[in-house]
């Protein structure tokens, strides 16, 4: 592993990409977009949800981790165009996120529609982060 790559990361851009991913999630899972369907497919009642502050904090920390990893891949590949960044985002989403989440969904016997919704969000978010991180090098 090239540890010098961590010195090349643009931490301001990583933070901006993480915020963008977090905002996309807030919109994606808003009541006007997919929240009702997600709650229905998960058999969750809105009043039975967990502490929103704790959920938001963990989601944001996860967003930062995703952005750091994607920026690491972008640095290693010297990606500097939107298409290259988007490609790294797609590969990260398809190669890591969709496969691991897909296996979890299978073992948990969760609905395919819910998987497609969740995977669609992460795929879109990873692409957006890849574009941001590659363009602001």
Structure tokens at 66: 């995703």
Looking at residue 116, what is its pLDDT?
A: 87
Higher pLDDT, 101 or 51: 101
| Cα distance from N-terminal residue to C-terminal residue, the chain | 21
Looking at residue 87, what is its pLDDT?
A: 97
Cα separation, 39 vs 65, whole angstroms: 26
Predicted confidence band at 3 (pLDDT cuts at 50, 70, 90)?
low
Q: What is the pTM of this model?
A: 0.85
Segment 91-116 shows an average pLDDT of: 89
- Tell me the domain boundaries of the chain: 9-135
Mean pLDDT is highest, among 8-12, 49-53, 85-89, for 85-89
């Amino acid at each position: 592993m090239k540890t010098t790559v961590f010195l090349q990361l643009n931490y301001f851009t990583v933070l901006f990409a993480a915020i963008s991913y977090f905002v996309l999630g807030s919109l994606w899972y808003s009541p006007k977009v997919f929240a009702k369907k997600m709650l229905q497919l998960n058999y969750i009642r809105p009043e039975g949800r967990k502490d929103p502050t704790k959920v938001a904090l963990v989601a944001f920390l996860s967003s930062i981790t995703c952005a750091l990893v994607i920026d690491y891949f972008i640095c290693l590949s010297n990606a500097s165009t939107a298409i290259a960044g988007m490609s790294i985002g797609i590969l990260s989403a398809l190669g890591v996120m969709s496969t691991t989440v897909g296996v979890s969904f299978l073992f948990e016997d969760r609905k395919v529609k819910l998987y497609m919704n969740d995977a669609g969000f992460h795929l879109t978010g990873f692409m957006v982060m890849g574009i941001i991180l590659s363009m602001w090098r």
